[in-house]
Amino acid sequence: MGQALWSWLLEGHFLWLAGAAVLAGLVRGFSGFGAAMIFVPLAGMLEAPTVAVPLLFLVDSFATLPITLRAFRRCTWAEILPLMLGATLTIPLGVALLVAADPLVMRWVISLSILAAVLALAAGWRLQRRLPFLGTAAVGAVAGVTGGAASLSGPPLVLFWLGGQAGAAQVRDNIYAIFGLLGVVAGLTLWLNGLLTLAVLRQALVLLPVYVLAIAVGAKLFPHASEGFYRKVALGLCGLAALGALPLWERLA
């Protein structure tokens, strides 16, 4: 095992993954989300998804734990809980659609829907008052379906808060809090499927200092950003995630 890790370092894998971790950590530290859409595709050029996904999970879970625990004290639990309830109930529905429906059609519908929401928010649309419990749970249900069907649970949640009246700091805390809770579900899923191996853990421990440093730099940059700049970054990340999920690119490849 030690020899395999040493070979992993010498073959240039570490430098490539470290670069991906730096970019992902900067974005995650600043915005609160977006690490997966950067790290997983870049790491996937060298590693199988069954390695890249659990590798990011381990590194991100350790690195963001202090921020997530602080976010739990400042987040809007009146929104977090119904969102989690809705998402938990509909993730199986999303997975069922992934199996039963045409996956290309599903990805087109979900990606274009997210892009439409991004454009609406960019044009200035905002919710005028907080949604009731059932309305908030419905947003979580949408996130559960999009997550199960196309691995896009993040954008609906982020867009929900960007469309409200909360400031950037509150939005960021809410994102860290709900992603922390969703991470528990993701970790259990990875573990039950045998993907949290000792080899991946060793790679994660090597990458962890790089990712922690990038997270810290991104977090330091956040207080200096205006509300408008944060919204532009967050909307841009959601838009990129939706664009990246479009089946169009597979047909052009």
Q: Indicate if the pLDDT at residue 151 is higher than 80.
A: no
Identify the band that residue 52 occupies on the pLDDT scale cut at 50, 70 and 90. Answer: confident
User: Tens of pLDDT along 88-109?
Assistant: 899 888 878 877 878 778 778 8
The structure's pTM equals: 0.86
Tens-digit pLDDT profile for residues 9-40: 556 678 889 999 999 999 999 999 988 888 88
pLDDT single digits (tens) 125-137: 888 788 999 999 9
Q: What is the average per-residue pLDDT within 190-202?
A: 88
pLDDT at 2 over 60: no
The pLDDT of residue 8 is above 80: no
Task: Please state, in angstroms and rounded to a whole number, the distance separating the CA atoms of residues 107 and 200.
Answer: 30
* Residue 123 confidence (pLDDT): 86
